[in-house]
Structure 1
Amino acid sequence: MTYQNILSEIKNGTLYITINREKKLNALNKDTLAELADAVAFAQENPEVKCVLLTGAGEKAFVAGADISEFSSYTPEQGEALARNGQATVFDAIENSRKPFLAAINGFALGGGLELAMACHIRVAADTAKMGLPEVTLGLIPGYGGTQRLTQLVGKGRATEMIITAEMITAEKAERIGLVNYSVPAQELIVKSEEILNKIKQRAPLAVAAAISAVNAVYRDGVNGFEVEIKEFGKCFGNEDFKEGVTAFLTKRAPEFKAL
């Protein structure tokens, strides 16, 4: 697929995805979501990709929300279909990815932009970034998992306040309440993000995937997360990464894990 709205490049095992609509503050329109869905699927299938760094073009915005003009005349049925499709192909696909996604939040992350960042497994924000879910100012609510993931990350009270006041928060506050992992000077954003991903790339990819699956099970209704952990733990004993990791440990050498 040829991309018009995102940039995609693999470097040293990391797939860099940049939402490239700087003049539109990287707003998510249908074409951009379709390209993101394709890039996420590509990451899962390509053995060269060990992890993904997701960011926005320019210095102003990570993603400043959805392209409102595209859905301003939607019916309730069309609105529901929009949310359901986006959830399945982009947001849930990222959260359930076997490969870690890190959001490098370089500027405004609003509405669908914050929802996109929250779908990622790790978030690093520039100290100049601001975040929020302003949908109620449009007579809407978040539709790409915002009500669920924000509550999981910061708790019911803070999530409810952010959503129904539509107030933005700073990167410093986002770090303090657990919405992002780190707030760093803007010039250090990519360096810090790459530092985290480089650590992950040294670990056993099959174990990393198993850990993501087990952590995600915490939030699945009707699923016993302890049981998921036990099964994932057991499966690790049957893969080559475990054999390589143990052999390397016992022979006092660095492990050489295979790509997922």
Structure 2
Amino acid sequence: MSAPRSTASVPDWVKVPYPLLMHSLVSFPAKHILLVTINREEYMNCLPTEATIELGHLWKWYDSEPEMRCAVFTGKGKKAFCSGMDLKQRLDIVNSKQVALEYPSGSFGGMANRTGKKPIIIACNGHAHGGGFELVLNADVIFASPNATFRLPEVLRGVSALAGGLPRCMNLFGNQRTMDLVLTGRYLSAQEAVSWGLIKEIVPLDKLVDRAIEYAKEIAELSPDAVVISRLGAREAWETGVSRATMRGQEIYADVMMASRNAEEGLTAYKAKRKPNWEPSYL
């Protein structure tokens, strides 16, 4: 278990200290970049209910902190990104007939059903099973180590994947591939996941997080307003369908984007042939 963070670990460019965490580590590898590491290596980085609540608060802080532009999410160690829910804790809750602590609006890990404003890049350093796979399925871009595997084993445990994984698999992979995964609980290798379009790149484990951070830096160098609005506009198709998303994107986002200071700065910099100086996003 990690020690609570101290305010001394917060860089001076962060306006508001991040929430207290006991099960994950937070660092800032570059300006505007948040690195979150699940710190339960001895438990294959499974998440008890308390860890999910902590991460739910953290992702909300990330979305609200103006200086934050991109996040990288990984797990501690060489075997697992996240092996899902802490099933021993869940069984204890069921047997005791107690009501479980309520999950945040983002569901498992605070992000399995997260919409949010800002991108989360996953550096999948091993197994992503059950809820861990559901986190991956709702990420924006995924890098993975060669030993990474993806799995929804719920049918083997007498339950079902109900944190968004089933409809997202269908959207991403289609009917037959989804049924193959969810009806058998089989492993999906990193190599197969690349061919299915889930993973952007397979990266050696010792270089995985650095590669994800470099990619996050590319995003952080862009207009934070444009990144937020482009992501939201694209994700509308995920939630509502392509035709409706196109209409909503034009209706809701276009005026806000074009009236922003960062839009003016981007166009001015282009005309002057210089690098833009972006302002924090307050969208």
Instruction: Report the TM-score when normalising by structure 2.
Output: 0.84
- How far the C-alpha of 1:195 sits from its partner, in A, is 2.1
* Residue of structure 2 equivalent to 1:242: 263
Letter in 2 for 1:10: F
The equivalent of 1:227 in structure 2 is 247
> 111, 121, 124: which is aligned to 1:91?
111
Task: Kindly state the Cα deviation for residue 153 of structure 1 after the two structures are TM-superposed.
Answer: 1.8
Q: Extract unaligned runs of 5+ from structure 2.
A: 1-18
Q: CA 1:100–1:138 in structure 2 vs 1: closer, same or farther (change >3 Å)? A: same
Question: Which residue of 2 is the match for residue 21 of structure 1?
Answer: 40
Query: 1:124: which partner in 2?
Result: 143
- The structure-2 alpha-carbon separation of the partners of 1:167 and 1:187, relative to structure 1 and needing over 3 Å to count, comes to same
Question: Contact conserved, 1:91 with 1:144, CA < 8 A, in 2?
Answer: no
- CA RMSD in angstroms, aligned pairs only: 2.4
* 1:40 has 2:59 as partner: yes
CA offset at residue 258 of structure 1?
Answer: 1.2
- What is the one-letter code of the residue matched to 2:138? A
Which residue among 25, 40, 45 is the counterpart of 1:7? Answer: 25
Q: SS at 1:123's partner residue? A: strand
CA distance 1:78–1:149, change in 2 (3 Å) = farther
Counterparts in 2 of 1:110-121, with a 5 A limit?
Answer: 110-121=129-140
> AA paired with 1:219?
W
Question: Which 4+ residue blocks in structure 1 deviate beyond 3 angstroms?
Answer: 77-86
Deviation sequence 1:150-177 (CA, Å, 0-9, x none): 2222222211211111001111111110
The alignment-based identity, stated in percent, is 27
Q: Give the match's secondary structure for 1:128.
A: coil
Q: Deviations over 1:101-148 (max 9, x none)?
A: 001100100000011122211111111111111010001110211101
Change (3 A) 1:88 1:162: closer
Distance 1:88 1:169 in 2: 21
Cα distance in 2 between the residues matched to 1:8 and 1:196:
18
Corresponding residue for residue 214 of structure 1: 233
Partner of 1:257: 278
- How is 1:51-66 mapped onto 2 (pairs within 5 angstroms)? 51-66=70-85
Structure 1 position 97, deviation (Å): 1.9
Give the 3-state SS of the residue equivalent to 1:109 in structure 2: strand
Q: Deviations over 1:161-203 (max 9, x none)?
A: 1111100111111111012222222222112212211111111
Shift of 1:83: 7.1
